[in-house]
């Protein structure tokens, strides 16, 4: 079975049937993560030489969009895992990284990114916490403001300023295991959207990190964020938005076909041309997102001069389009959408969460504008 067929199978059996319930109860879907692991999908991008499926950006985008059509919360858990795993794959191979990768390809290990800090907010590239050198590695105190999968992840890819770093982006990335002394989840998730992805704050209190758990050379964490994480995260966010839009168009079409004006003897879609036009616009916007996704995948497969610009645009456009399509659907389906008779209001809330996740849509537009004018981004 190829990776898309595997994703469809997991989605059909373990994600779609419980998505609405998990959203209502803010319940993290542990069964879905287990099933993704059993299907080999936690090791999707891990090279086959290391036991993974050895797939690339196309498969990643397709798997994320497939999951997001049913449940964007699970899709975001998956995106964070794949980004964290890429950091581990790109790190020097030590006993710590080898053990994590062995568990990831065996489908038994979920990882995530713990970058954002309360003090630097959405500017995740500028951690305020600073690692202090010890004879065997470093000691770290930090407050991470949002960590997807916080209580369910087996490890965290954590950023901090390097012990001798001079500037605000001179960071280093480390891999922390769940059981490490001093690592704790410091709250619960009360967000409007992506309610089932357990994005909670975390506290690192005098955490001793061994040299073997360092994922990047000192002061090059920022480089890994830009070169390893950003392309995957932005592609994942675009694929997630595409899944949201596809599901929203399908739910809207279904409502327009089945809800009736009985006094007119017609469905909403048959009776009202303005609703048909709104549905058409939603489909047009969704197809535009799909075309952009194809373009970004091609750029990542064969990088060129415009690749970084396309990566920045990917998430900026995804956030805006997902909010527009889901807002249009809320209006098109009226009270039925507003009152949870469809899943549209869930997708509407989830679309808003995607847009405020860093790099936020506003920050990306700021970067794109600077790039177009030849102004340095940082």
Ligand X SMILES: Cc1cc2nc3c(=O)[nH]c(=O)nc-3n(C[C@H](O)[C@H](O)[C@H](O)COP(=O)(O)OP(=O)(O)OC[C@H]3O[C@@H](n4cnc5c(N)ncnc54)[C@H](O)[C@@H]3O)c2cc1C
Closest approach, Cβ 38 to ligand X, in A, equals 24
> 3-class SS at 94?
coil
Closest approach, Cβ 156 to ligand X, in A, equals 9
CB nearer to ligand X: give 42 or 357.
357
Binding to ligand X by CB under 6 A, coded x per residue (else -) over 188-217, reads: ---x--x----x------------------
CB nearer to ligand X: give 138 or 355.
355
| Single residue of 113, 160, 282, 308 touching ligand X by CB under 6 A | 113
Q: What residues have CB less than 8 Å from 197, skipping those under 6 apart?
A: 28, 73, 74, 76, 77, 148, 149, 189
| Single residue of 112, 172, 248, 252 touching ligand X by CB under 6 A | 112
Residue 228 engages ligand X in binding (rule: CB under 6 A): no
Task: Report CA Rg, the chain.
Answer: 21
Closest approach, Cβ 3 to ligand X, in A, equals 23
CB 315 within 8 A of CB 237: yes
Residue 151 engages ligand X in binding (rule: CB under 6 A): no
Q: What angle do CA 210, 168, 209 make, to 5 degrees?
A: 10
Name residue, tokens 């279904």: 254
User: CA-CA-CA-CA torsion for 269, 273, 275, 281, nearest 10 degrees?
Assistant: 120
Among residues 67, 16, 10, 32, the alpha carbon closest in space to that of 244 is found at 67
Residue 147 engages ligand X in binding (rule: CB under 6 A): yes
Piece of 41-49, 268-276, 284-292, 354-362 that binds ligand X (CB under 6 A): 354-362
H or E, element range at 176: strand 171-177
Residue 234 engages ligand X in binding (rule: CB under 6 A): no
| Single residue of 29, 116, 129, 171 touching ligand X by CB under 6 A | 116
Closest approach, Cβ 353 to ligand X, in A, equals 4
For residue 183, the cross-strand partners are 204
Distance CA 80, CA 277 (A): 36
Distance CA 111, CA 80 (A): 7
Closest approach, Cβ 188 to ligand X, in A, equals 13
Omega before residue 359 within 30° of 0, cis? yes
Residue 66 engages ligand X in binding (rule: CB under 6 A): no
Residue 129 engages ligand X in binding (rule: CB under 6 A): no
| Single residue of 20, 90, 94, 122 touching ligand X by CB under 6 A | 122
Binding-site size for ligand X (CB under 6 A) equals 23
CB 310 within 8 A of CB 296: yes
Tokens of residue 320, six digits:
């805006």
> 3-class SS at 260?
strand
Piece of 27-35, 310-318, 329-337, 361-369 that binds ligand X (CB under 6 A): 361-369
Residue 366 engages ligand X in binding (rule: CB under 6 A): yes
Residues in contact with ligand X by the rule CB under 6 A: 80, 112-116, 121-122, 124, 146-148, 191, 194, 199, 353, 356-358, 360, 362-363, 366
């Amino acid at each position: 079975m190829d990776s898309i067929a595997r994703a469809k199978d997991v989605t059909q059996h373990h994600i779609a049937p419980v998505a609405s319930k998990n959203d209502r109860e803010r319940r993290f879907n542990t069964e879905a993560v287990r099933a993704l692991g059993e299907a080999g999908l936690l090791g999707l991008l891990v090279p086959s030489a290391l036991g993974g499926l050895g797939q690339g950006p196309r498969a990643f985008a397709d798997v994320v969009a497939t999951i997001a059509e049913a449940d964007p919360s699970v899709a975001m858990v998956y995106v964070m895992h794949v980004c964290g795993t890429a950091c581990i794959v790109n790190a020097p191979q030590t006993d710590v990284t080898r053990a994590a990768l062995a568990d990831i390809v065996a489908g038994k290990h979920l990882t995530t990114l713990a970058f954002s800090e309360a003090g630097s907010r959405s500017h995740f590239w500028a951690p305020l916490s600073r690692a202090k050198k010890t004879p065997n590695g470093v000691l770290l105190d930090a407050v991470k403001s949002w960590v997807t999968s916080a209580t369910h992840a087996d490890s965290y890819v954590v950023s901090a300023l390097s012990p001798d770093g001079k500037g605000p982006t001179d960071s280093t990335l480390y891999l922390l295991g769940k059981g490490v002394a001093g690592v704790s989840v410091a709250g619960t998730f009360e967000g409007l959207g992506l309610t089932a992805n357990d994005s909670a704050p975390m506290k690192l209190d005098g955490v001793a990190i061994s040299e073997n758990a360092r994922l990047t050379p000192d002061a090059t964490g920022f480089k890994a964020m830009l070169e390893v994480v950003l392309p995957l995260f932005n592609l994942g966010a675009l694929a997630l938005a595409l899944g949201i839009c596809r599901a929203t168009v399908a739910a809207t079409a279904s409502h327009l076909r089945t809800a009736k004006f009985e006094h007119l003897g017609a469905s909403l879609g048959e009776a009202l041309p303005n609703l048909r036009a709104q549905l058409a616009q939603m489909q047009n916007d969704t197809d535009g997102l799909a075309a952009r996704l194809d373009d970004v995948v091609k750029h990542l497969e064969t990088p060129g001069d415009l690749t970084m610009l396309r990566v920045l645009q990917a998430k900026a456009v995804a956030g805006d389009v997902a909010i527009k399509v889901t807002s249009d659907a809320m209006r098109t389906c009226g009270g039925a959408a507003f009152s949870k008779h469809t899943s549209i209001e869930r997708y509407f809330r989830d679309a808003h969460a995607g847009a405020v996740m860093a790099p936020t849509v506003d920050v990306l537009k700021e970067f794109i504008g600077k790039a177009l004018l030849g102004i340095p981004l940082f």
